[in-house]
Structure 1
């Protein structure tokens, strides 16, 4: 999933200022709790892994009713390609999440727990079409791009008002996709062919286009660690890229010229690791480097086409 807004900011945009202050006051407590759980892992047995079971050898038929709820408490350093956005307060690094996995009769709601954070993998609503020994075909509905709002970027994210003021809100892009998954001995490859549906452009016309999203994940067990080495390549059509980083005629300022974006690619490399602390708690950490095609940074809204996200946190399985 390509993300143009800061992860903590996406969360902040949906709550009021007093909640932002509350998160800031509580963030030191979360940091202490995460540190305590990391150090407590030294006293846990080295031979029993209680991380989320994910059989990479073959597809799992989701026929019976099953559910799982996971509380994710993470600190994320997540720079954005949008110019002038900086993480300054500790509360802006805090990103709590609730992961809900439910399946029944081939239908499922799931999060990608092979990625370093849920916002990278996305929560997916799907249906299993075909299941064979080493591959499967699914219908998927998920968010492929997070939106952003210029007023919230300026107020909560330290955004450059001179550059961002007056931009229309960019809504989240929801994609309906056909997914092919190929299972290997210790690896999983997935590719989505999706039609992404965004908001409306300056002429109130619907914005949508092709998204091709692929990712390869290799499991490398080491002692009591589950280490995932990942690489991905994604394509986004011109209409979708232009919706997020283009500048329409009615958004033009002296410091913000009109700009029409082209279609673009994004490549990713990732290392993600999980370590069990107890039967319910696990520690996880990861680093993800994203590289966007060179034409992306030609937008006046963008100052870089490379970002590196670092995640550190704990998860509790109910």
Structure 2
């Protein structure tokens, strides 16, 4: 039950930057990240997990853990990629008392595209991801803006983003079916909503082989998520500390 993909996406871009500085050809690395997060579910609290990752960079193809991308077009400061990734959202009945009597909500594999536009004012991005496994049967569309700063061998980027989550996606992960209704948990049908996120992404490079990543973000939920009987907070906080060794 986690939402590590957004930060893993930032880590993938960081690994690509480090790999681009190496010799041409295939570059690969191994690493892991400690992810601490509180998604706002009722009486569930903060969770900390270790996420191992295999990283590969070969030409226009990049892979890091559950996310892969292929750059299909680039010109000057604009690039466009197709992306496939696991959506790690979901829960099992054993994850907390609030889920007792609920059907499991599974992860999905989402596929779509993303673009990036670098300007002297900062980096603009957009993405569109759709479930191709018919798990939640929905989609998510996002836009983002960040301003990178270089500090020695490090890079820090404060950013903001807005994500539109479709009705099917929200209802699958935050809805409550009539058959799942209990005295303390009313039936609930989720609708499309907009989440807002603010965060800081940082990458620290040590020589030709080492990358450390430290990211912190807060996601403010849209009203359709906050109104869910499964949720007791207005948003979620996530901290990621990761390391990748590039061979």
1:172 and 2:107 are equivalent in the alignment:
yes
Report how many aligned residue pairs link the two structures. Answer: 234
1:311 and 2:246 are equivalent in the alignment:
no
Say which of 260, 263, 279 aligns to 2:192: 263
Say which of 233, 241, 253 aligns to 2:170: 241
Q: Contact 2:153 / 2:206 at 8 angstroms: preserved in 1?
A: no
The structural deviation recorded for 1:182 is 1.3
CA distance in 2: counterparts of 1:295 and 1:243, whole angstroms: 12
Q: What is the aligned partner in structure 2 of residue 11 from structure 1?
A: none
Structure 1 144/189 Cα, relative in aligned 2: closer, same or farther at 3 Å? farther
Q: What is the aligned partner in structure 2 of residue 93 from structure 1?
A: 48
Q: State how 1:12-27 maps to structure 2 within 5 Å.
A: none
Q: TM-score, normalised by structure 2?
A: 0.81
Q: What is the aligned partner in structure 2 of residue 139 from structure 1?
A: 82
The structural deviation recorded for 1:197 is 4.0
Say which of 103, 111, 127 aligns to 2:58: 103
CA distance in 2: counterparts of 1:232 and 1:280, whole angstroms: 31
Structure 1 313/98 Cα, relative in aligned 2: closer, same or farther at 3 Å? closer
Tell me, what secondary structure is at the counterpart of 1:208? Answer: coil
Structure 1 179/276 Cα, relative in aligned 2: closer, same or farther at 3 Å? closer
CA distance in 1: counterparts of 2:150 and 2:218, whole angstroms: 22
Q: State how 1:169-248 maps to structure 2 within 5 Å.
A: 169-185=104-120, 187-197=122-132, 199=134, 207-248=136-177
Which structure is larger by alpha-carbon Rg, 1 or 2?
1
Q: Contact 1:80 / 1:307 at 8 angstroms: preserved in 2?
A: yes
Say which of 209, 232, 246 aligns to 1:280: 209
Q: State how 1:61-80 maps to structure 2 within 5 Å.
A: 65-74=25-34, 76-80=35-39
Q: Contact 1:6 / 1:80 at 8 angstroms: preserved in 2?
A: yes
Segments of 5+ residues of structure 1 without an aligned counterpart are 9-50, 112-117, 154-158, 201-206
1:124 and 2:84 are equivalent in the alignment:
no
Q: Is the helix fraction higher in 1 or 2?
A: 1
The structural deviation recorded for 1:6 is 4.1
Q: State how 1:4-43 maps to structure 2 within 5 Å.
A: 5-6=1-2
Segments of 5+ residues of structure 2 without an aligned counterpart are 5-13
The structural deviation recorded for 1:109 is 3.2
CA deviation map 1:88-134 (0-9, x unaligned): xxxx5342421312334x4x2334xxxxxx7xxxx433333332222
Structure 1 291/53 Cα, relative in aligned 2: closer, same or farther at 3 Å? same
Q: Contact 1:186 / 1:220 at 8 angstroms: preserved in 2?
A: no
Q: What is the CA RMSD across the aligned residues, in angstroms?
A: 2.8
Q: Is the strand fraction higher in 1 or 2?
A: 2
Tell me, what secondary structure is at the counterpart of 2:188? Answer: coil
